[in-house]
Amino acid sequence: MRPTEEQEELRSTVRQLLARQPGPDAWGPLAGQIGAAGLAVPEEHGGAGCGPLEVHVVMEELGRALAPVPFLGSAVLTTQALLACGDAALLPALAEGRAVGALAWAEDGSWEPAAIRTAAHRGPDGGWRLTGTKDHVLDGADATLLVVAARTAAGVALFEVPADGPGVRRERLVPMDPTRAQARIALDGAAGRLLGTDGDGARVLARVRDLGSVALAAEQVGAAERCLELTVAYARERVQFGRPIGSFQAVKHRLADAYVQVEAARSIALGAAYAAAEGAAELTRYAAAAKSACSEASSAVAGETIQLHGGIGITWEHDAHRYFKRAHGSAQLLGAPAEHRRRLAAELELVPRQVA
């Protein structure tokens, strides 16, 4: 499994752009010049018509740079939710970067549809009204488009909710990882427009969780790879007892172990991306395995980065702490590794499936 020439060109272009324009300002050129915002949007809706492999490439590069841009929340989670719903009306604005989407999904730290308590009911005017609180909403404080998962009499459904409409209160959170913007969204009788079919939300969210996990695994690989590069470079430069610390056998062993973890994570993440691209029926097991393995590899390698950098690794001046925070924050996003192992076991019919 090797990237195509076009995918490698995409990787090079994204890496160069992030080097020239780091930080949140990178989103403008990523969306406008590269078309990243609409990467997974079909061409008939104004997007690039690409698939999970191209998303994989971009997510790897965003992970390397810890780019604080809304690609995962808007171009992956929100876009895939709309595609799975079959509602294309909002896709052109997302694809062009005119809108930034946020998928308000998790409640009480859980991404399971069964945990959704936000309620949607018909108002006196026949329209939908939503009440409840959503946590861990990526880019939720700044998004211009909200897609909210709520429970109706028919089950879970998805709704478009005006981001600044009556009954919507958005609270910017201060997460452990400051490069991953999150918000809490409280809804109190907020107006909503049903997306897709009432009661079909559990299926839609399962699809989004799979594709989101595959994309997030790629980001984790990119971040872990960059951690290893920084640590190897430091081990060559840092001199102790008259020789570079990288020449000590104990340090070599730890770097070798980290390399194995990165490459193993790369393989499983890429395998999941290919499964998604091919529409494999077993996508859930590939996605769950990738999210679990890559979460643990990213956390372990980021921890070694701090350990092998010594004192400088725990200072604000060095990037090591930023990668460490991203690794541990990403490990919990869309479910902790243990949760994804339970999903994998359920797919392999080793444990009962959870009912939505």
Short-list 299, 272, 270, CA closest to 57? 270
Could you give the 3-state DSSP secondary structure of residue 324? helix
Say what the pLDDT of residue 356 is. 53
Residue listed under structure tokens 């994998």: 344
Please give the C-alpha separations between residue 62 and each of 156, 181, 269, in angstroms, as whole numbers: 32, 14, 15
Eight-state DSSP code of residue 25: G
Could you give the 3-state DSSP secondary structure of residue 166? coil
Say what the pLDDT of residue 348 is. 87
Whether pLDDT at 315 is above 90 = no
The tokens for 3 are 């990237």
User: pLDDT above 90 covers what percent of the chain?
Assistant: 87
pTM over 0.85: yes
Contacts of 224 (CB under 8 A, 6+ apart): 63, 261, 262, 265, 294, 297, 298, 301, 302, 327
Say what the pLDDT of residue 312 is. 82
The string of pLDDT tens digits covering residues 233-258 is: 999 998 889 898 888 999 999 999 99
Mean pLDDT of 329-338: 96
298 falls in which pLDDT band (50, 70, 90)?
Answer: very high
Alpha-carbon distance of 272 to 291, in angstroms, equals: 9
The string of pLDDT tens digits covering residues 176-187 is: 899 999 999 999
Alpha-carbon distance of 11 to 48, in angstroms, equals: 15
Task: Name the maximum alpha-carbon separation found in the chain.
Answer: 79
Alpha-carbon distance of 57 to 14, in angstroms, equals: 9
Alpha-carbon distance of 59 to 218, in angstroms, equals: 6
Q: Give first-to-last CA distance, the chain, whole Å.
A: 36
351 vs 234, residue with greater confidence: 234
